[in-house]
Amino acid sequence: MKLLEYEAKSVFKDFGIPVPKSVLIRAPEEVAPHLAALGDTVVLKAQVDVGGRGKAGGILKADDADAVRAARDLFSREIKGLPVREILVEERLPITHEYYLSIAIDRSTKGPVILFADAGGVDIESAAQEDAGAVRKVTLPPLLTEVPAFLMRELLGDAPKDLAPVINRLYRVFREKDAMLAEINPLVTTEKGVYAADAKLIVDDNALARQGIAVNRDLTDREQEAEKHGFAYVELDGSIGVIGNGAGLTMSTLDLIEFYQGRAANFLDVGGGADQDRVQHAVRLVAGMPDVKVIVVNLLGGITRCDEVAKGIIAAGVAPTVIVRMAGTNEEEGRRLLAEHGYRMLESMDAAVKAAVEAAA
C-alpha cells in the first residue's frame, strides 16, 4: 500500500531523516496560524496519490500574504481526477542541489537495490534512459543491516559525504517498515543541511498487519469486499466477467479473451480450495458489476473440487449467462450438477472463452 507524502515524511522523520517544516491542513483557513513558523514563502502540496503531481497542478508556491487564497485554489482543484482533501504546507527550502535516492527490491539478486543519481527531480526517468550512467545502482545481500562503506562510496561518487547517513537511515526505513519502495526525489542540499523534499513509501501488502495498517486504501470498495473473501480481484472495463482459480490461469483466461478479441470486465482469482460459499460470493460479486453481460468460469481442480464449484455457481443463481469450463477433482459430479440446471459447459479453456466472447458481442 502506498503511503501519502505526509505519512511517508512522518516515518522518515521518526528515523532521523530531516524533512522540511510543515503543517497538514484540511481547510484553507487552517494554514494562517502556522505561517509565521514556516517562513516568508510556503509550498502547498496536494496529498493525492498520483504520479506527476507537480505537472498536474498539485503543487503551488505562495507568499504568506497569499497562502490562504492559494490553499483555497488548491482545495478546489481535481488532480488527475482526484479531489484534494488534505494539503501539506511546507517551508520553502533554499535548495542548492537536488539528488535522487531510492531503495527497492531486485528480483534477480533477491535483495535490496539502492539507486542514487546526482541530478534528481521530475525528469529522473528520462535522464536514466538517455544516460545509463546517470543513475548509480548497487545491490546488497538482505542479511546486511547497514550499507557497507565501499558500496556507499560507489553510490555517492563525488556527491557530499553528509548524504551517507540519509542513505543508511532510508535503508533502515526500508527494512523495518517492510517497504517495497522507499524513495526520496528530490533529496536536496541547502545551506542548513540535507532534506527529503519529497517522500514515497510503499508498504508490502503482505506485511500491513504487522505494520499496524488495518485497511488497504489502494483498493476500491468492491476490491476490499473481494479481499475479505480471500479473492484476488481487479476491476477492468469490458463486459466479460472472469472467475478462475490461481493467478496464472486467471491471467491466461484474460489473455485468451483478448486473443478472441473480447474485453474482460475483471480479474477474479478465487484462490486455492474454494468451496461452494466462496464460489457463490465470487459469482455474485462479478455479476454485480453493471457492464457484465456474460461470465466465464475457468477452474482447474487440484485442491479445488469441481462439485463444490458447481454448487456455488448454481446457488448464486445470477442473471448473466455463466459459461463454465472445469477439469480435475470431482469433474464428473460437477458436470452432472451443472447440466441438471441447464448451465453451459465446455471442454476446453479455448472453447469456453470463445463462446463467452461470442455471447458478449
Peptide bond into 142 cis (omega under 30): no
Residue closest to 93 by CA, chosen among 163, 9, 195, 237: 195
The residue range among 73-81, 138-146, 156-164, 332-340 that interacts with another protein, by the rule CB under 8 A, is: 138-146
Tell me, what amino acid is at 188? V
Is residue 124 part of the contact set for another protein (CB under 8 A)? yes
Binding residue for another protein, selected from 257, 282, 310, 316, defined by CB under 8 A: 257
DSSP class of residue 76? T
Name the active-site residue from 100, 171, 195, 233. 100
> Please, what is the minimum distance in Å from the beta carbon of residue 264 to another protein?
7
Report the C-alpha gap between 81 and 77 in whole angstroms.
9
Is residue 166 part of the contact set for another protein (CB under 8 A)? no
Is residue 256 part of the contact set for another protein (CB under 8 A)? yes
DSSP of 124-182: HHHHHHH-GGGEEEEE--TT-SS--HHHHHHHHTTS-GGGHHHHHHHHHHHHHTTEEEE
Encoded one letter per residue, x for contact with another protein by CB under 8 A and - for no contact, window 30-49 reads: --------------------
Size of the site for another protein (CB under 8 A): 67
Is residue 51 part of the contact set for another protein (CB under 8 A)? yes
Binding residue for another protein, selected from 29, 162, 255, 358, defined by CB under 8 A: 255
Is residue 317 part of the contact set for another protein (CB under 8 A)? no
Residue closest to 300 by CA, chosen among 248, 262, 223, 357: 248
- Confirm if 44 and 69 have CB atoms less than 8 A apart: no
Report the C-alpha gap between 42 and 85 in whole angstroms.
18
Name the active-site residue from 183, 223, 308, 331. 183
Is residue 141 part of the contact set for another protein (CB under 8 A)? yes
Cell (9 digits) for 134:
546517470
- Confirm if 239 and 292 have CB atoms less than 8 A apart: yes
Contact set for another protein, span 63-102 (CB under 8 A): 100, 102
Report the C-alpha gap between 187 and 210 in whole angstroms.
29
> Please, what is the minimum distance in Å from the beta carbon of residue 39 to another protein?
29
Greatest C-alpha distance within the chain? 79
Other residues' Cβ atoms within 10 Å of the Cβ of residue 347? 9
User: Is 183 an active-site residue?
Assistant: yes
Binding residue for another protein, selected from 162, 218, 277, 358, defined by CB under 8 A: 218
User: Is 100 an active-site residue?
Assistant: yes
Indicate which residues carry an active-site annotation: 100, 183
Interacting residue ranges for another protein, rule: CB under 8 A: 51, 100, 102-108, 110-113, 115, 124-125, 128-129, 135, 137, 141-143, 175, 178, 180-181, 183, 185, 200, 202, 204, 206-207, 209-210, 218, 234, 236, 244-249, 251-252, 254-259, 264, 272-273, 299-303, 327-329, 348-350
